[in-house]
Amino acid sequence: MSKDYGKLAIGIIAAWFVFALSASAAHIFNQNAAAPPIALGLAVLIPIVVFWIWFKASAGFREFALSLDPRVLTIVQSWRIAGFAFVVLYVYGILPGIFANPAGWGDIAIGLTAPWVAMKLAEPGHRKGFIVWNALGILDLIVAVTTGTTSRLMHPHGLAADAMTVLPLSIVPTFLVPLFAILHIIAIAQARRWREVEGARNRQHVPASAT
């Protein structure tokens, strides 16, 4: 059953990537400067919502997700060090600083710390620290999406994050951002289960020690 869900998940991720790439190539996410980026926002939110509904509704899929190695889920976040590109694009006047600086430096911080977190915190003994780090990772993504989609509204006559709606940068919000968010959600769910497992073990030890 776990292998079946694994193959299904890989297939869905592959199809999702192809869709994001094809839709970007077809300029579906391009926007009028005065219009809100509705298509881009839906591309970010829909995969997360679909995952969450599936995760809550299917016990089999939920068990598969929770069985994944938290260290692997964490180390994947190392790719976010590529957020340095946002800072570079800001320097060259391609992306607005209101988006590029918090999104870029936030991603760099998560990407740089991911290997250490995977080695030191991805275990029950460091559950709280692991949850905090993952929560910060989600917060970084929320800030990036919010500032990216509202940059034109906040600075009507300034530089907007329109470059994020076309290839190759459009792959970031339409594929990578929701994928990283889902990995964070799974990791937090795993850490919450560690507390439940630890509590069950403690309850089992009480009668034994009492006798």
d(CA 65, CA 12): 14
pLDDT at residue 38, rounded to an integer: 82
Q: How far apart are the first and last CA of the chain?
A: 40
Q: Is 9 exposed, middle or buried (0-12, 13-18, 19+ CB in 10 A)?
A: middle
Predicted pLDDT of residue 37: 78
Average pLDDT value for the chain: 90
* Residue 211 in this model has a pLDDT that exceeds 50: no
* Per-residue pLDDT tens digits for 81-137: 999 999 999 999 999 999 999 999 999 999 999 999 999 999 999 999 999 999 999
pLDDT of residue 18: 97
Residue 73 has pLDDT above 60, yes or no: yes
164 in Cβ contact with 170 (< 8 Å): yes
Is the pLDDT at 159 greater than 80? The verdict is no
For residue 77, count CB atoms less than 10 angstroms from its CB and return exposed for 0-12, middle for 13-18, buried for 19 or more.
buried
Q: Write the pLDDT tens digit of every residue in 164-184.
A: 989 999 999 999 999 999 999
Q: In a 3-state reduction of DSSP, which class is residue 160?
A: coil
Nearest to 40 by CA among 185, 180, 163, 155: 163
Q: 62 or 195, which is more confident?
A: 62
What pLDDT is stored for residue 210 in this prediction? 53
Cβ 167 vs Cβ 183: under 8 Å = no
User: Structural domain boundaries of the chain?
Assistant: 2-210
pLDDT digits (tens, 9 = 90+) for 1-41: 677 899 999 999 999 999 999 999 999 988 766 667 788 88
**Under a CB-based contact definition with an 8 Å cutoff, are residues 187 and 70 in contact?**
yes
Q: What is the pLDDT of residue 206?
A: 53
- Type of residue numbered 194: W
Cα 45 from Cα 50, distance rounded (Å): 9
